[in-house]
Amino acid sequence: QLQLVESGGGVVQPGGSLRLSCAASGFTFSNHGMHWVRQAPGKGLEWVAFIWYNGANKYYKKSVEGRFSISRDNSKNTLYLQMNSLRPEDTAVYYCAKDPCSSNTCYSDFWGQGTLVTVSS
């Protein structure tokens, strides 16, 4: 069955870096666009980034553009989110989510369980 397993979260100081991973299984990962969506503690959902099935195009929320980088390794069925220059307001659970489409965004039809990132001194 479909599985998305995020990892790499933790506690980091402001200005620090983290790389999140999302291991996919149960579907043909290389055929699907992928999203990162975050949720601050007790708050709503916030879209962060999207990458095409082949990595050719990437899109970001304005507040993370230039600091975060989404990428994928289709040979390893893994999605990544490199997060640099982290700020306290980046504290959230980060979810990876599968898009049923390959390039242009459709929607997120399956989500992982999330990984918590805490930015604090």
Partner 1 sequence: EIVLTQSPDFQSVTPMEKVTITCRASQSIGSTLHWYQQKPDQSPKLLVKYASQSISGVPSRFSGSGSGTDFTLTINSLEAEDAATYYCHQSSSLPYTFGQGTKLEIK
- Work out whether 27 is an interface residue with partner 1 (CB under 8 A): no
Who's near 60: CB < 8 A, 6+ residues apart?
A: 48, 49, 68, 70
Tell which one of 3, 31, 102, 113 touches partner 1 (CB under 8 A).
113
Site membership for partner 1, residue 105 (CB under 8 A): yes
Angstrom distance (rounded) from CA 44 to CA 4:
21
Collapsing DSSP to helix, strand or coil, 49 comes out as strand
The number of residues in the chain equals 121
- Considering the complex, what minimum distance in angstroms separates the CB of residue 102 from partner 1? 14
Instruction: Figure out which of the listed residues 8, 21, 23, 111 binds partner 1, where binding follows CB under 8 A.
Output: 111
| 115-119 and 110-111 beta bridge pairing | unpaired
Question: Which residues 29-88 are close enough to bind partner 1 by CB under 8 A?
Answer: 35, 44-47, 50, 59-62
Cα separation, 35 vs 23, whole angstroms = 13
Exactly one of 2, 11, 40, 106 binds partner 1 (CB under 8 A); that residue is 106
Neighbours of 45 (CB within 10 A): 15
For residues 11 and 106, which CB has a smaller minimum distance to partner 1 in the complex?
A: 106
The residues binding partner 1 (CB under 8 A) are: 35, 44-47, 50, 59-62, 95, 105-114
